[in-house]
Amino acid sequence: MIELVAALLFLSLLMFIAYPFFQAAEASPTTIRTQSRLDELLNEKEEAYLSLKDIELDFRMGKLSGRDYEVLKKESENRAIEVLKQIEATQASLGSSRKTIKAK
């Protein structure tokens, strides 16, 4: 009787420890790549925002002419908008792939 309880306790403990390894196996390579791409895009977003702040600061300090400021600001804003759109699309893709995994 004690051996049976010990064996069941051992198997329960083994399943508890091994469970996270089986969860990680469910993540597909596509999901991992998509998450990696999302991380890259979030870094690009931060860089775009910092660029806009730097351009604003340089203009206020007189390092940029009004014309240069407008051109650089417009380019940085366009880049930021593009990155935000890519982030949105990537998040949508990641969300749909997670739903697919849960459905399995």
Nearest to 87 by CA among 40, 24, 47, 50: 40
Structure pTM? 0.61
Q: In the chain, what are the domain boundaries? A: 28-103
Q: What is the pLDDT of residues 64-83, one digit of tens each?
A: 999 999 999 999 999 999 99
pLDDT at 102: 46
* Position 14 confidence tier, pLDDT thresholds 50, 70, 90: confident
